């Protein structure tokens, strides 16, 4: 392939040789290879200052991360064969772990495919292109997916915030076959419908599935599922006999919870409103739970939001702790990469001290196994779930 070259400055290849996939704009020798002359999404040959081949990369010339390595094999430039091999490799990990055929099939850098997310719902695939390169190679991605999985339908959910950083338009588009508005998914014996066209992200949060399974061994009598979305935490507990209460700011989300409860013969209670406000109202009304799950959206989306976000996590955990009976279980989650695990634990401890409670940390979960982290890219390891018991010490 006759591809343009992107040359790095002297000694700027060390991090990439150690396994990282991202190239930053200040690492590029712009005198030798003018970065701004590249088209967004263009595939380039990345070379060191000595002219050594480092990999094929997708260019994002207007971003701080100006290129992402896709292939380090000089004989395997990105194309249908390349994508098919990586997708097959990803499938081989997931199939034994999740034999129902429902899982995150591709997790960007964690699967060596920066900018691509793919969720599988049996014979339906929902994809997201987060970079200009994946956007430019959509047809190759779809052809590779067809080759590996022969799906009944493929949907692009290209309406996420990450696309704004790349200057890409937001849209939802059917790529192949048929994809309904909602697709069935079963978890811990409970039947759900994932809203793949209109729901959050690609319709379902697979990243918490292993943590929701972890919760199953703690027998709940009454559970609060805050920031519940489709209610997977609470409904699976309800199927085991718990009385379940759900809180979400979205009326649509609570409708999905109610519909799933009805399909499974479960009775639930729902409250619409800001999570922390509803929790405080429940406390004032004398409501108490033996399990409280706090699974909020990211409070810290950018590094500069760290201070305010950390304070928000502490306030939320304090409110949740006040609802718990002695011996109760708090499951405190954060999907903010910019909040470290120890910082979340500290926020929980400060919340406990403020409310006059004491907690024991029982176990700590991360994202499910279908969201593999890249060892050189800590941003791929973002999810924390801390399981705590309230005790008198």
- CATH number for the domain spanning 10: value is 2.30.130.10
Please check the confidence at residue 1 and state whether its pLDDT lies above 70. Answer: no
pLDDT at 166: 86
Q: What's the pTM value of the predicted model, to 2 decimals?
A: 0.95
d(CA 24, CA 41): 15
Q: Single out the catalytic residue among 66, 102, 335, 388.
A: 335
228 catalytic? Reply is no
Residues 56 and 113 in one domain: no
Beta bridge partners of 121: 102, 124
Tens digits of per-residue pLDDT, 270-325?
999 998 999 999 999 999 999 999 999 999 988 898 999 999 999 999 999 999 99
User: The domain spanning residue 354 has which CATH number?
Assistant: 3.40.50.150
Residues 165 and 38 in one domain: no
> How many structural domains are present in the chain?
3
Residues 138 and 281 in one domain: no
Tens digits of per-residue pLDDT, 79-126?
999 999 999 999 999 999 999 999 999 999 999 999 999 999 999 999
Please check the confidence at residue 22 and state whether its pLDDT lies above 70. Answer: yes
Residues 295 and 385 in one domain: yes
Which domain does 262 fall in, by range? Answer: 183-391
């Amino acid at each position: 392939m006759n591809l343009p070259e992107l040359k790095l400055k002297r000694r700027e290849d060390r991090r990439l040789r150690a396994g990282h996939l991202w190239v930053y704009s200040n690492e590029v020798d712009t005198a030798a290879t003018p970065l701004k002359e590249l088209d967004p999404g263009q595939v380039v040959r990345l070379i060191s200052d000595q002219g050594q081949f480092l990999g094929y990369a997708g260019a994002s010339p207007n971003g701080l991360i100006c290129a992402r390595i896709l292939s380090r094999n000089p004989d395997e430039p990105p194309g249908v064969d390349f994508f098919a091999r990586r997708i097959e490799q990803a499938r081989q990990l997931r199939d034994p772990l999740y034999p129902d055929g429902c899982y995150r099939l591709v997790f960007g850098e964690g699967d060596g495919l920066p900018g691509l997310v793919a969720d599988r719902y049996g014979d339906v695939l929902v994809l997201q292109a987060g970079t200009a390169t994946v956007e430019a190679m959509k047809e190759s991605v779809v052809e590779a997916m067809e080759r590996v999985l022969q799906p009944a339908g493929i949907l692009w959910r290209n309406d996420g915030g990450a696309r704004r950083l790349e200057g890409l338009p937001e849209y939802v588009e059917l790529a192949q076959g048929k994809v309904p508005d909602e697709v069935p998914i079963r978890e811990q014996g409970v039947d759900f419908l994932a809203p793949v066209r209109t729901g959050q992200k690609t319709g379902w949060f697979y990243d918490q599935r292993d943590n929701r399974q972890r919760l199953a061994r703690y027998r709940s009598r009454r559970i609060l599922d805050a920031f519940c979305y489709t209610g997977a935490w609470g409904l699976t507990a309800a199927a085991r006999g718990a009385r379940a209460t759900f809180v979400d700011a979205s009326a649509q989300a609570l409708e999905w919870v109610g519909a799933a409860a009805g399909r499974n013969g479960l009775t639930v209670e729902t409250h619409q409103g800001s999570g922390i406000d509803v929790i405080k109202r429940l406390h004032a009304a004398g409501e108490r739970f033996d399990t409280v799950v706090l699974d909020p959206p990211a409070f810290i989306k950018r590094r500069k939001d760290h201070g305010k976000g950390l304070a928000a996590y502490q306030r939320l955990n304090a409110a949740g702790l006040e609802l718990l009976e002695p011996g109760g279980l708090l499951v405190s989650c954060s999907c903010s990469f910019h909040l470290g695990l120890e910082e979340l634990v500290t926020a929980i401890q400060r919340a406990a001290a403020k409310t006059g409670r004491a907690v024991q940390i029982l176990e700590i979960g991360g994202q499910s196994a279908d969201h593999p982290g890249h060892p050189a890219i800590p941003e791929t390891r973002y999810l924390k779930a801390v399981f705590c018991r309230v005790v008198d010490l």
